[in-house]
Amino acid sequence: MKVGIIVFPGTNCDRDTKWAFEKIGAKADFIWHTEHNINKYDLIVLPGGFSYGDYLRSGAIAIFSPVMQNVSEFAKKGGYVLGICNGFQILLESHLLPGAMTRNENLHFISKFHHLKVINNENKFLQNLNVGDIINIPIAHAEGNYKVSNETLKEMYDNGQVILKYCDENGNELNPNGSVDSIAGICNKQKNVFGLMPHPERAMDSILGGVDGIKMLEGFLK
């Protein structure tokens, strides 16, 4: 599998993401944001970081980068796209995923391991996990307070687009940032575009605190 990792000015999880995909046997390249040719890839990843210094709103400026036009076309043709953290924020701003992010309810930048519950696994990303599984993945963000209209939220539940929620180690709802319904990760209706605030690429080795990210990223290999 060939993974293309988009790098914007201010992206800072690109190398971790490349390392993570190579660890599970994929080939991964960096794609600078001014490039256009992304069609040879099986998966496009928008990694975490602070693209364009988070100016105006997180992800708001990145959507005008030349490569984003191609990412949009790639997604609309059914290509797989994964946005992690700032990448998720960029997918929201580009309307490839529904909703928007606001500042964490407690105003803090939260950086720690957090448990997540699998809500829906009928998609490529989480196919190696079971509904109800509890996994432990680091989060690191100041704007992860997910907001979406009630109408759209209902549609998202009906279509199985709410895929991950924050919880405690026993699976009880635990909301670190104020996200509606404690939502941590979603996908689009066609289930080829995924966004999540937690960082699976940081949970790939027990020496770094956990390996729960492996099963997630491996979903794209099948």
Q: Which residues are catalytic?
A: 85, 199, 201
Could you tell me the smallest distance in angstroms from the CB atom of residue 201 to another protein?
27
Give ∠ CA 136-139-142 in degrees, rounded to 5: 160
Could you tell me the smallest distance in angstroms from the CB atom of residue 79 to another protein?
24
Looking at residue 135, its amino acid is I
Q: Which is nearer to another protein, 56 or 131 (CB)?
A: 56
Could you tell me the smallest distance in angstroms from the CB atom of residue 163 to another protein?
20
Q: Which is nearer to another protein, 178 or 209 (CB)?
A: 178
Please tell me whether residue 218 adopts helix, strand or coil conformation.
helix
Q: Which is nearer to another protein, 23 or 57 (CB)?
A: 57
Q: Which is nearer to another protein, 21 or 146 (CB)?
A: 146
Spacing of C-alpha 136 from chain mean position:
15
Measure Cα distances from 171 to 2, 110, 126, 166 in Å: 34, 20, 17, 8
Could you tell me the smallest distance in angstroms from the CB atom of residue 93 to another protein?
7
Under DSSP, the state recorded for 71 is: H
Q: What is the CA radius of gyration of the chain?
A: 16
User: Rounded to an integer, what distance in angstroms lies between the CA atom of residue 220 and that of residue 37?
Assistant: 21
Contact set with another protein (CB under 8 A): 56-57, 60, 64, 92-93, 99-100, 102-107, 145, 147-149, 178
